[in-house]
Structure 1
Amino acid sequence: MNTHFKDIHIGKLIHQRIEEVSVKTLRICNFFNCTEEEVKKMLEQKDLSTDTLLKWCKLLEYDFFRVYSQHLILYSPPSGIDKKEKSMLPSFRKSIYTREIIDFIMELVHTGEKSKSQIIEEYRIPKSTLYKWIEKYKG
């Protein structure tokens, strides 16, 4: 999925996955208990409710939420929240980079679309991490 993670159109991504795994419309309609027209409308949506998206994840065996997580890793501003404060919410490590993010960053480096310093500054990728990726994914 060679997508830029900045502008997410979840309906298009779901449609792409449907085609990749060849799921029949009848199966989708039965799973969602809806009509073909309602499925078509979902695939035209830029955004879907989390409940609906979770159902798509289960049906298509693909974590569409990860696309949004990758967006957060690349585009969220630094937090003004004191990290020492404990939260009742689950905590997740933000520094876990997926292969798609690494490929995205490496494409920027290899095409010269962004300089290394721009990548470090704009996406807050640690310098040591970026240079490890460059060494590992030469090409």
Structure 2
Amino acid sequence: MSIIYKNIHIGNLIEKRVSECNIKVSRICNFFDCIEKDIEEMYKQKDMNTGILLKWSKLLKYDFFRIYTQHLVLFSPPFSPDNKDSNQKSELPQFRKNIYTKVMIDFILELISTEQKTIRQVIDEYKIPKTTLYKWISKYKKIDNT
């Protein structure tokens, strides 16, 4: 499934996962201690409280937070060493932005192979280095042909 990471509607994605898992609404209501109408309202939500999203992730055994992480990888500005705040220490965990998952690589390569985007568009829009993109194309094209 090609998720458009730019426009996330988390309620729709949760509803799809519930359908895939064939979970009865009575079980969901019991898990959330709510009524069916409340669940239907959650399906309509574009955004969701993180505590509720965590519960959905556990119930459906799917990391919905990763969808947002992939969005950040694709759409947040690259780290700039010139950033004035970069010298400040933080007690929060630090993550490297430039780690691309196989799902992300497949998503990008699918955009190129289906001609939805050109290589130049991918480089410009997603800020993926040209050499990285060509390495992916070379590496995964060989795998696909075997």
TM-score, length-scaled by structure 1: 0.91
Cα deviation for residue 6 of structure 1 reads 0.4
Cα deviation for residue 28 of structure 1 reads 0.4
Contact preservation (8 Å) 1:5, 1:67: yes
Cα deviation for residue 84 of structure 1 reads 4.2
Match of 1:109 in 2: 112
Cα deviation for residue 121 of structure 1 reads 2.0
Distance 1:61 1:129 in 2: 32
Cα deviation for residue 79 of structure 1 reads 4.5
SS of equivalent residue, structure 1 residue 70: helix
Encode CA deviations 1:63-89: one digit per residue, 9 max, x unaligned.
Answer: 100000111111112356343432211
- Does the C-alpha gap of structure 1 residues 127 and 85 become closer, same or farther in structure 2, counting only changes over 3 Å? farther
Describe how 1:41-52 pairs up with structure 2 within 5 A. 41-52=41-52
TM-score, length-scaled by structure 2: 0.87
Matched, 1:130 2:133: yes
Question: What residue identity is the alignment partner of 1:74?
Answer: L
Match of 1:26 in 2: 26
Cα deviation for residue 124 of structure 1 reads 1.2
Describe how 1:72-83 pairs up with structure 2 within 5 A. 72-79=72-79, 81-82=83-84, 83=86
Q: Higher relative contact order by CA 8 Å / sep ≥ 6: 1 or 2?
A: 1
Cα deviation for residue 133 of structure 1 reads 1.0
Gaps of 5+ in 1: none
Match of 1:13 in 2: 13
Cα deviation for residue 98 of structure 1 reads 2.0
Q: How many residues align?
A: 139
Question: What residue identity is the alignment partner of 2:75?
Answer: Y
- Does the C-alpha gap of structure 1 residues 127 and 84 become closer, same or farther in structure 2, counting only changes over 3 Å? farther
Gaps of 5+ in 2: none
RMSD of aligned Cα (Å) = 1.6
Distance 1:118 1:42 in 2: 35
- Does the C-alpha gap of structure 1 residues 21 and 93 become closer, same or farther in structure 2, counting only changes over 3 Å? same
Distance 1:95 1:84 in 2: 20
Cα deviation for residue 118 of structure 1 reads 2.1
